Amino acid sequence: MTAPTRPDPRAFRERLHAREPMIGTFMKTPGAHNTEILGGLGYDFVVLDAEHAPWDRGTLDTGLLAARAFGTAGIVRIGRPDATSILSVLDDGAIGVMVPHVDSAQKARDIVSWSHYKGGSRGLGIGRGGEYGARGTDHIPFADKTTTVIAMIEDRQAIDVIDEIAAVPGVDCLFLGRGDLGVSLSNATGPAPTLKEAVEIVGAAARKHDKPLAAVVPAMNSDEARWLISLGVTTMMVLSDQSFMRQAAAAALQDFNAAYGRAKV
- The residues that are catalytic are 52
SS3 of 177-222: the string is: CHHHHHHHHHCCCCCCCCHHHHHHHHHHHHHHCCCCEEEEECCCCC
Whole-angstrom distance, CA of residue 170 vs CA of residue 214: 16
Evaluate whether 151 touches 101 at the Cβ level (below 8 Å).
no
Whole-angstrom distance, CA of residue 38 vs CA of residue 46: 8
| Phi-psi label, residue 116: left if phi above 0, alpha if psi -120 to 50, beta otherwise | beta
Evaluate whether 234 touches 20 at the Cβ level (below 8 Å).
yes
Rounded to 5 degrees, what are φ and ψ at 240?
-155, 170
User: Quick one: the chain helix, strand, coil %, rounded to 5?
Assistant: 50, 15, 35
Burial class for 63, CB neighbours closer than 10 Å (0-12, 13-18, 19+)? buried
Evaluate whether 147 touches 76 at the Cβ level (below 8 Å).
no
DSSP reduced 3-state for 103: coil
The H or E element spanning position 53 is none
